[in-house]
Structure 1
Amino acid sequence: MTAGTAGERTAPTPEPVAVPGPARPAGRPPRPVRRREARVGLLFVAPMLLLFTVFRFGPTIGAAFLSLTDYRLSGDWRFIGVENYARLLDDDLFWSSLGVTALYTLFFVPLTVGLSLGTALLLHRTLWLRGFFRGVFFLPYVTSIVLAAVIWKWIYDVEDGLLNAALGVLSLGPVDFLGDERLVLPAIAATSAWKGFGYSMLILLAGLQSIPREVSEAAVIDGATGWRRLRWVTLPLLRPVLFFVLVVEAIGAFQVFDAMYVMTAGGPVRASYSLVYLLYDTGFKFFDFGYASALGLVLFLVVLVFSLIQRRLIGRDD
């Protein structure tokens, strides 16, 4: 039959179907709007980027260049390549100061992190006067390290110190904490830990408060004891925050100078003569800025390697 035959119905012509393009995610603004927001955000962070470039990135490049010269206070200099680094490898004082810095870090970091974590756990469980105790524990952090070092130097004093007076009551003193080569680094580490643990405590406390309560409640229902909850629930969930605290405290430990300068002046017999102390003496006492810059670059590399090791061991999944 033909199309016009009576009694035959003609099939309707199908309408063209529009093929949809790639859908934009719900809530995502158009590309021009995103570009405009990016430019506005860059405008807001531009002052900080400028300050970082001028006062951090620029001096780092300058120090790297100075480490390849024999620059002196008079302004005279000549390019000597890697001679400063070769000299550094043969410098016994460099190796001894590096060993002092590493040993101090081993004392300071576990003490500070342990004190911060323990205090944060106590404050997390305490509801009564939590804000008051948080302020009291944070107060030493906002004080001057020089003031803290002077106070603790008096506390450690052999004759008139508060600590030796307490030991005398127990018939255990006197102990020369700052004059004994074996005790000077733990004593300075304790001072620095008292001074700075409040910052890490607040960071860890914020991390504890961000852990969902339902997770701990589920562990209690399953019969987990307090230690098991801490070991298998709290610490794994706190690992990103704990990694941040460990890196920050380790960087601070490698840069120790103020407390040693005030409390012991690097003694006794350079038992508290850190790498930054050597850098200070080289640059500002002997005005050997090229060698001091090489020391600074080596310190930067040591801190970087140590941070990467911590990242590998603790923060690899975060």
Structure 2
Amino acid sequence: MSKLAADEVAPEEPLPEAGPEPGEGGGGPGVTAGRSRILRRREALVGLAFVAPMLALFIVFRFGPTLGAAFLSLTDYRLSGEWTFTGAGNYTRLLQDDLFWESLGVTAVYTALYVPMTVALALGTAVLLHRTLWLRGFFRGLFFLPYVTSIVLAAVIWKWIYELEDGLLNATLGALSLGPVDFLGSESLVLPSIAAASAWKGFGYSMLILLAGLQSIPREVTEAATIDGANGWQRFRWVTLPLLRPVLFFVLVIEAITGFQVFDAMYVMTAGGPVRASYSLVYFLYDSGFKFFDFGYASAVGLVLFLVVLVFSLIQRRLIGRDTD
């Protein structure tokens, strides 16, 4: 066979693919992955640079006072600026102070009254709003209005309502021949009365959170329960509440923290009376720091309050929120 015929029969060899020119980003998968990591790290640094100013302010103004209070609790610090290191002296004194234990008991009782009132009112209102289609936005804003009202203004209004002589509540009871009741002057009624006023003031925030939780529950789940023959209470008890558990846990923790920090309502409505029946732990802190200027002792009270709230939140997490993840 001639050379020309052999060339015609032999298959043509494929031309080699053009490789990347120098500087065009070649180098294989390892080089590509390395550059991807560099880009991600660069993006993270850019994002951190944007949030760094606010992060620094948050650390300074959030953790700075906390660390300062922790240091003050170990000292005998006075208004003149003079201080001496006392170690655990303030905490030892605190454990031996009957007024501290009395104010802690008042705070615990108040919280035990306030939290169920607020959560029950918020949950009931949220369920009604969830089932109401007519003017839902109007009623949602109406029920939320007390929350944005000043706590001092709300306390003054409720103090007028509870007045023994001319109060609205006692006037109504008098019309029903039930006689006047000294709501704020009775040692047994003062905490429930303040808790009811505070629940009216603060339930709107929890109501909105619970309402959002109700609206996030898939409608197919409740429809399936209805098809299976469950009535309204059974759907609420066995379907809605379990699905609402994470939101309910959050609301309980927030309201418990609010209850332990009560001060304004008691200061305005009763000034801690009668006979310190409404003398809360924060009221005790206020008197120690701003009445007797014992800042080290007041700081110790504040840290103890922090630990009490932390332990209570962990207990709630154990009892209620363990299955919410």
Q: TM-score scaled to structure 2, two decimals?
A: 0.88
Determine if the alignment matches structure 1 residue 200 to structure 2 residue 206.
yes
| 1:71 match | 77
Aligned mates of 2:251, 2:267 — CA distance in 1: 25
| 1:7 match | none
Aligned mates of 1:253, 1:40 — CA distance in 2: 41
Aligned mates of 1:266, 1:100 — CA distance in 2: 10
Q: 1:130 aligns with which of 136, 155, 160?
A: 136
Aligned mates of 2:36, 2:134 — CA distance in 1: 50
- Post-superposition offset of 1:93: 0.1
- Post-superposition offset of 1:182: 0.4
| 1:216 match | 222
| 1:17 match | none
Q: 2:114 aligns with which of 102, 108, 119?
A: 108
| 2:294 match | 288
- Post-superposition offset of 1:60: 0.6
Gaps of at least 5 residues in structure 1 are 1-19
Aligned mates of 2:101, 2:29 — CA distance in 1: 65
Determine if the alignment matches structure 1 residue 93 to structure 2 residue 103.
no
Aligned mates of 2:196, 2:217 — CA distance in 1: 30
Aligned mates of 1:117, 1:126 — CA distance in 2: 14
| 2:190 match | 184
| 1:298 match | 304
- Post-superposition offset of 1:214: 0.6
- Post-superposition offset of 1:21: 7.9
Query: Cα gap change, 1:88/1:33 in structure 2, threshold over 3 Å: closer, same or farther?
Result: same
Aligned mates of 1:38, 1:237 — CA distance in 2: 36
AA matched with 2:211: L
Query: Cα gap change, 1:224/1:308 in structure 2, threshold over 3 Å: closer, same or farther?
Result: same
AA matched with 1:61: L
Aligned mates of 2:125, 2:155 — CA distance in 1: 22
AA matched with 1:293: S
Q: Deviations over 1:239-277 (max 9, x none)?
A: 111111000000010000000000000000000000000
| 2:235 match | 229
Determine if the alignment matches structure 1 residue 59 to structure 2 residue 65.
yes
Aligned mates of 1:146, 1:211 — CA distance in 2: 37
Aligned mates of 2:177, 2:43 — CA distance in 1: 70
| 1:163 match | 169
| 1:264 match | 270
Aligned mates of 2:284, 2:56 — CA distance in 1: 31
Aligned mates of 1:221, 1:229 — CA distance in 2: 11
Aligned mates of 2:178, 2:43 — CA distance in 1: 67
Residue aligned with 2:200, SS:
helix
| 2:124 match | 118
Equivalent pairs counted in the alignment come to: 294
Residue aligned with 2:278, SS:
coil
Residue aligned with 1:70, SS:
strand
Q: 1:246 aligns with which of 252, 262, 267?
A: 252
- Post-superposition offset of 1:38: 2.5
Determine if the alignment matches structure 1 residue 35 to structure 2 residue 44.
no
Aligned mates of 2:38, 2:175 — CA distance in 1: 76
- Post-superposition offset of 1:54: 1.6
| 1:141 match | 147
| 2:178 match | 172
| 2:279 match | 273
Aligned mates of 1:164, 1:201 — CA distance in 2: 29
- Post-superposition offset of 1:39: 2.7
Runs ≥4 in structure 1, deviation > 4 angstroms?
none
Residue aligned with 1:316, SS:
helix
AA matched with 1:295: V
| 2:86 match | 80
Aligned mates of 1:225, 1:160 — CA distance in 2: 46
Residue aligned with 2:83, SS:
coil
Aligned mates of 1:92, 1:307 — CA distance in 2: 25
- Post-superposition offset of 1:232: 1.0
| 2:16 match | none
Aligned mates of 1:43, 1:136 — CA distance in 2: 42
Q: Deviations over 1:106-165 (max 9, x none)?
A: 000000000000000000000000000000000011110000000000000000100001
- Post-superposition offset of 1:77: 0.6
Aligned mates of 2:51, 2:116 — CA distance in 1: 36
AA matched with 2:318: R
Aligned mates of 1:199, 1:159 — CA distance in 2: 33
Residue aligned with 1:168, SS:
helix
